[in-house]
Structure 1
Amino acid sequence: MLDIAEELNAWAAEGRDFAVATVVAVSGSAPRRPGAALAVDAVGTAVGSVSGGCVESAVYELCRQALADGRPVLERFDDDEDDDDEDGLGTGLTCGGAIDVLVLPVHAAGPVRPVLAAALAATASGGAVALARIVTGPPALLGGALLVHGDGTRHGGFGGHPELDDTVAAEAAAFLDAGRTGTVEVGGRGARCGSPVTVLIESAVPAPRMIVFGAVDFAAALVRVGKFLGFHVTVCDARPVFTTRARFPEADEVVVDWPHRYLERTATDARTVLCVLTHDPKFDVPLLRLALRLPVAYVGAMGSRRTHLDRLERLREAGVTERRLAGLRSPIGLDLGARTPEETALSIAAEIVAARRGGTGVPLTGAHTPIHHDGPLGVGSPA
């Protein structure tokens, strides 16, 4: 649900009634992951998607029904099409997998409305939150919600079950720390025993950072691709004549500073990607010496193979170990035969996605690898 927070926050602010269908679990190949959502308001307006198209019509009708009767419902969709469907379109997933979808009515006067509204407002404003909702368990608890903010404060709960609240809050905090979305089972009273309660926990964290060093034409193209992938993009270069807002209008930040000095004082985390496009030793060596020590998701550097070999020798002379050098993606990008700045940006972005998701970078035609990956870096969102 938090993946469409901006739209739903506007609906909530307007006082609209709506129902939201959220992917709870996925098995096999499926187009969307847990947390993907479709919402429908009282006049039939829809936003979002749970399947990329295969079962949207059926989920839309479930949302309309939930709005009418006020009851949440958990529905499974798999690859078995409904041959009795009147329009002959069927409601099965064509990809061969299965998804479980929780449909929850959200009326203006409903008990979960304040919790969901707080989650939507915080997410829409870029805050870090984890929203927990009960998917299976006692009927009285179904759809109940608890919100955990990045500072540990809570909103909502499960009505007279403090042990359950505490247990779910602890799980939600752990999911938020990892930027994960998924389900967890706990006992009905909060202990890991007895009748299980399944809880969907959605995490929303600020956009991951892409820092592009080098105010060159390739950087301008990479900024556009980075924004498309959902990154918060910064361009940094020490040359003020090139490092201007006019040249990089789509960047979130344009910084005039020596790259290594900026990297020393700026925040990075395990989702951050660093793209070094300067291919100038006076910038590259001090920058990469620092970057390769940081626990970031990706460090790539542009340059020819000769430039790469020269850069490696300079970094060794600067004291960078072979173990750290092994983390450098250089020459940057996948082999797409790219020539233009836009093609090169696509090559770099493709390598970043492959690194993030654990992809191989080989053509899917004739390959026997999964189409969808959940990679080791687990960037939550957008990227």
Structure 2
Amino acid sequence: MLNIADTLHRWCREERPFALATVVGVHGSAPLPTGTSVAVDEDGEAVGSISGGCVEGAVYELCQQVLKDRGGPQRAWFGYSDDDAFAVGLTCGGELDILVQRIDPATQPYLGAALAESAEGRPAAVAQVVDGPDGLVGATLSVLGDSWIAGDALDTTPTGQAVADRTAAQLRASRTALISVGGDADTCPDRLSVLVHVAAPRPRMLIYGAVDFAAALSRAGRFLGYHVTVCDARPVFATEARFPYADEVVVDWPHRHLEHVEVDTRTAVCVLTHDAKFDIPLLRTALGLPVGYVGAMGSRRTHTERLHRLREDGVTGEELARLRSPIGLDLGARTPEETAISIAAEIIAHANRASGLPLVGRSGPIHEPAAHRGSGPVTHGVGRTPVRPALHAQTRR
């Protein structure tokens, strides 16, 4: 639901009842992920999408029916339509499990509070019960910072605190997920399936080196939703005029800047400086932090020299294995813009534990959950060699 937080926040302020249809289960090549929602108010105004167009009409009608009946939540399932491509079904071949419920903001102010936090770009989470006892299905609970608030349905159960604890954990991890809670006869007797919607601040992309490649990468990072910082120790190059797509441009020594910036597992660190006096202390710092991606530009010879210097500085083999260098995927990139796409593609593939290979050469589901890909280095496939980054237009030293 947080994908449409702005509009839902406005409807809650106006105490405007609406029906909320949420994807609570995805199988196969469904176009949008679990947690995506569409909402319809009593005037018929709709916002959001759950299928990219395949089943929107049917879901819209179901929302209107739920609003009219003023009853409890309803579940609907949509799968592939073999007989008629225009029938209600997902022609992409996937399956969607949808929960539709009526929301009355006047009686659920706690939901409006979470939507307000999300709309303002502050971290918030909403837990939505999607399966369990009839009286709890559709119940929601909001976590804002270190506190949680809920409606009567969860307040009156011992499971409420357990749901709040798990929701807070998902918020700290910045991850929307379907979780199971309860089933313990002593502490949490109600067995619930709970969809935790998480809205967190934009992930950070930290670009070090105020060069042409950084200008192109900052634009790609902004497009992907990152909070982009460009940092360089040289004030003549690190200017806002040269990097209009960056959220901030910082003049500082790169390693010193990184030591004081807030990072998390979604943070991407891109080292484009091409200068050992900047690169070595910066990479030593970056590889010791819990960031999601560390990449460095340079030729294979430069990379080999870097590894030698970093080992001499005490960087461990496990830490060095995290370094993506030469940076980017093998797209044959030459220009700064092409190289930026190559780097951005590697960041996406690395975050999703994907191969980076053309889909035409793969079998199986297109939208395979990251959890099913396994852990460890991104590879072409079982028993094959790791994806080889390109040299791009990186200086061959």
TM-score by length of 2: 0.86
State the one-letter code of the partner of 1:3: N
Deviation track 1:143-173 (CA, whole Å, cap 9, x = no partner) reads 2111112213434352562302112112212
| Distance in 1 separating the partners of 2:372 and 2:253 | 28
Partner of 2:254: 259
User: 1:353 is matched with which residue: 338, 348, 372?
Assistant: 348
State yes or no: 1:269 paired with 2:264: yes
State yes or no: 1:321 paired with 2:316: yes
State the one-letter code of the partner of 1:24: V
Give the share of equivalent positions with the same residue, in percent.
58
| Distance in 1 separating the partners of 2:233 and 2:371 | 34
For structure 1, which segment, 344-353 or 366-375, has the greater mean C-alpha deviation from structure 2 after superposition?
Answer: 366-375
| Distance in 1 separating the partners of 2:284 and 2:152 | 48
Secondary structure, in 3 states, of the residue corresponding to 2:255? helix
Per the TM alignment, residue 189 of structure 1 is displaced from its structure 2 partner at its CA by: 8.9
Deviation track 1:105-145 (CA, whole Å, cap 9, x = no partner) reads 22343x33x12211110111222222112223333333211
Secondary structure, in 3 states, of the residue corresponding to 1:365? helix
| Distance in 1 separating the partners of 2:101 and 2:336 | 46
Aligned 8 A contact 2:66 2:102 in 1: yes
Partner of 1:77: 78
1:86-165 mapped onto 2 (5 Å cutoff): 89-109=86-106, 111-112=107-108, 114-158=109-153, 161-165=156-160
| Distance in 2 separating the partners of 1:91 and 1:276 | 49
| Distance in 1 separating the partners of 2:364 and 2:220 | 26
| Distance in 2 separating the partners of 1:216 and 1:57 | 49
Per the TM alignment, residue 95 of structure 1 is displaced from its structure 2 partner at its CA by: 2.8
Secondary structure, in 3 states, of the residue corresponding to 2:87? coil
| Distance in 2 separating the partners of 1:358 and 1:58 | 34
Partner of 2:162: 167
Partner of 1:381: none
Partner of 2:378: none
Secondary structure, in 3 states, of the residue corresponding to 1:225? helix
State the one-letter code of the partner of 2:249: V
Per the TM alignment, residue 195 of structure 1 is displaced from its structure 2 partner at its CA by: 6.0
State the one-letter code of the partner of 2:92: C
Over 3 Å counting, the alpha-carbon distance change for 1:137 and 1:235 in structure 2 is same
Partner of 1:302: 297
CA RMSD of aligned residues (A): 2.4
Partner of 2:47: 47
**Corresponding pairs, count:** 372
State the one-letter code of the partner of 2:251: V
Secondary structure, in 3 states, of the residue corresponding to 1:102? strand
Gaps of 5+ in 1: 379-383
| Distance in 1 separating the partners of 2:4 and 2:83 | 29
Over 3 Å counting, the alpha-carbon distance change for 1:193 and 1:117 in structure 2 is closer
Per the TM alignment, residue 258 of structure 1 is displaced from its structure 2 partner at its CA by: 0.5
| Distance in 1 separating the partners of 2:81 and 2:21 | 20
State the one-letter code of the partner of 2:19: A
Over 3 Å counting, the alpha-carbon distance change for 1:356 and 1:374 in structure 2 is farther
| Distance in 2 separating the partners of 1:340 and 1:24 | 42
State the one-letter code of the partner of 2:130: V
| Distance in 2 separating the partners of 1:40 and 1:280 | 55
Secondary structure, in 3 states, of the residue corresponding to 2:52? coil
Secondary structure, in 3 states, of the residue corresponding to 2:359? coil
State the one-letter code of the partner of 2:280: V
| Distance in 2 separating the partners of 1:185 and 1:304 | 48
Aligned 8 A contact 2:162 2:182 in 1: no
Aligned 8 A contact 1:358 1:374 in 2: no
Partner of 2:218: 223
| Distance in 1 separating the partners of 2:145 and 2:131 | 26
Structure 1 stretches of at least 4 aligned residues deviating more than 4 Å after TM superposition:
187-195
| Distance in 2 separating the partners of 1:190 and 1:66 | 34
Deviation track 1:27-70 (CA, whole Å, cap 9, x = no partner) reads 23322111111122333332221112211111111122222222
Partner of 2:395: none
Gaps of 5+ in 2: 374-397
Over 3 Å counting, the alpha-carbon distance change for 1:151 and 1:187 in structure 2 is closer
Partner of 2:27: 27
